[in-house]
Amino acid sequence: MSHSPAELGPLLLKARAYGFSEKGSTLEIFEPISDSPKILIMGSIHGDESLSTVLLSECLRSIQADELKSAVILAVNPDGVLAGTRCNSNGVDLNRNYPTNNWSPEPVYYRNRSGTPQNIALSPGESAGSESETKALIKLIQNLRPRLVVSIHGFLACIDDPDASPIAHDIAIRSDLEMVPDVGYDTPGSFGSWCKEQAIPIITYELPSMGMVELKQIHLPILKDLITGHYHQKLI
């Protein structure tokens, strides 16, 4: 992918607010200027996976407004990004807060790096769907009615799609990442579980653990194609 000097400067595309975080940060979405978006792409539901925000930002900075064909949320969890935490400002793992049939009030445990114990506890929320960020995203998706959601995470190095869709298959080939039907462990109250219950196709794009230069070389072309409508013809 070629880079222009504009990509190193400010993000000039205009976003609109779709809600506010628990701490009062504006939740923003970038949308096509004409057609309704068929694909919603989102980053940083976990604040400590903010490389997704950096990659999506650079993609947006590399295009003109009329080239944007998908909806893009740079950070679903802006407070977590600013604090460098997986959780939001209430200590809630937003990716375990969705009102699903499998939501659980039990603490959520995770590890912050490979090879360490999975013993860092976070809350799934006082109740399912309790957090402002969760409520706002649910309302937004119900209004947008996207035909596909792509949620970018780190760093399990896989393309998770239970439907094994043509888009996921192509992304897996281009990124040299394994395509899997799930991440291999239970995810009660996850955004992916909620999408499945709403019959909304979702691809969870798990970035690999590597340096930013390598991540950009491999993944920016794929994300730019997602943003500019290259994959629309593959939607089922």
Residue 178 tokens, joined: 């394994």
The secondary structure of 91-136 as a DSSP string is SB-GGG-S--TT---SPEEE-SSTTS-S-EEEB--SSTT-SHHHHH
d(CA 177, CA 137): 28
Catalytic residues: 206
Q: Which residues pair with 90 in a beta bridge?
A: none
Q: Are 92 and 125 in contact (CB under 8 A)?
A: yes
Residues in contact with 74: Cβ distance below 8 Å, sequence separation at least 6, in sequence order: 28, 30, 43, 44, 53, 56, 57, 60
d(CA 18, CA 225): 24
Reduced to 3 states, what is the DSSP secondary structure of residue 92? strand
